[in-house]
């Protein structure tokens, strides 16, 4: 990873932030992207003070022109783009019969369309420079269903198959494309969910956090697997959906 230029979306918080720190420790140069510009600037400043090579680029992954601008700024600053991690994501947790169309659109737009736009834009640069690595953050709910998570499951299942389709399309052109399927992980997304759920939804949330290993993941445990898939140690791995879920999908 030493010197590799990694563009990372959803970098301001949770799993994305942990991947940024883990990749920086492995020597990567980072382009951090997030719609939450204030948190992003704070993170980038802290990392720069710690001696990391880092550029913060506020942007919305659902907007094609933003995505193009983020990739272009990465190449302008560092001269190349070796890796992309798509971690930006949102969740909607609630009964399907009362879900608003706008909530469906938001989840599919950020999670699935955003991942597609970022993959497409990065691939264009990677083809020009002769290769690269992409890692999409899906979820255990890209592999199995979950109650009250229709849009989220649809979006994450979409990421798993988007990843596999692109991996096959670009395998001969030296671009490896994988996804990671984390289980419940201690981040603001999970904490907000636990805080906001009541009644029958509360019971369902407790079920989501119940794993065979008896605890939720720490973001660094997911980040270590992410850095492995980005690194040359994973040179023969493409098109995979790696679970980091404490056994959640094993049963
Ligand atoms: N926490 C979990 O239990 C868990 C489990 C499996 C998968 N995941 C996935 O991991 C990823 C990170 O989740 P997290 O738990 O760290 O969540 P989080 O809410 O802590 O972080 C998500 C980040 O994405 C950013 N974001 C949202 N919409 C964006 C947009 N349109 N453009 C750019 N950035 C945007 C947010 O600002 C935030 O910084 C998500 O894709 C999530 O679905 C999380």
Is residue 27 domain-resident?
yes
Which residues, other chains included, contact 82 with Cβ-Cβ below 8 Å and sequence gap of 6+?
Answer: 4, 5, 6, 132, 133
Regarding the beta carbon of 245 and ligand 1, being less than 6 Å apart is answered: no
Number of domains composing the chain: 1
Name the pTM for this structure: 0.98
User: Ligand 1 centre and the CA of 172: distance in Å?
Assistant: 31
Question: CATH no. for residue 118?
Answer: 3.40.50.720
DSSP-H helix ranges across 54-129:
64-78, 101-107, 114-129
Our separate counts of H helices and E strands in the chain read 9, 7
How many angstroms is it from 138 CA to the middle of ligand 1? Answer: 10
User: Which structural domain range is residue 88 located in?
Assistant: 5-185+218-244
For 106-118, the pLDDT digits (tens) are 999 999 999 999 9
Cα–chain center distance at 87:
2
Around Cβ 67, how many Cβ atoms within 10 Å? 24
Q: Is the CB of 137 under 6 A from ligand 1?
A: yes
What confidence tens digit (pLDDT) does each residue in 2-56 have?
999 999 999 999 999 999 999 999 999 999 999 999 999 999 999 999 999 999 9
Question: What is the rounded CA–CA span in Å between residue 88 and residue 148?
Answer: 21
**Active-site annotation holder among 92, 148, 152, 170:** 152
Q: Ligand 1: distance of its center to the CA of 19 in Å?
A: 12
Measured between alpha carbons, how far is 168 from 177 in angstroms, rounded to an integer?
A: 9
């Amino acid at each position: 990873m030493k010197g590799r230029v990694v563009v990372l979306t959803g970098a301001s918080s949770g799993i994305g932030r942990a991947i940024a720190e883990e990749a920086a420790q492995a020597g990567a140069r980072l382009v951090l992207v997030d719609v939450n510009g204030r948190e992003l600037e704070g993170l980038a400043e802290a990392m720069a003070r710690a001696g990391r090579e880092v550029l913060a680029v506020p942007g919305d992954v659902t907007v094609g022109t933003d995505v193009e601008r983020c990739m272009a700024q990465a190449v302008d600053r560092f001269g190349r783009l070796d890796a992309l991690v798509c971690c930006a994501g949102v969740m909607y947790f609630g009964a399907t019969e009362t879900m608003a169309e706008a909530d469906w659109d938001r989840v599919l737009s950020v999670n699935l369309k955003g991942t597609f736009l970022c993959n497409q834009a990065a691939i264009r640069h990677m083809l020009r420079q002769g290769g690269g690595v992409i890692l999409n953050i899906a979820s255990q709910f890209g592999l199995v269903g979950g109650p009250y998570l229709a849009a989220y499951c649809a979006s994450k299942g979409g990421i798993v198959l988007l990843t596999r389709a692109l991996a096959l399309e670009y395998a001969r052109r030296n671009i490896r494309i994988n996804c990671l399927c984390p289980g419940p992980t201690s981040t603001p997304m999970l904490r907000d969910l636990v805080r906001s759920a009541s009644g029958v939804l509360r019971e369902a949330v407790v079920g989501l956090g119940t794993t065979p290993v008896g605890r939720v993941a720490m973001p660094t445990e997911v980040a270590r697997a992410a850095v492995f898939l980005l690194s040359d140690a994973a040179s023969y791995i493409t098109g995979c959906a790696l679970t980091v879920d404490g056994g959640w999908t094993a049963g």
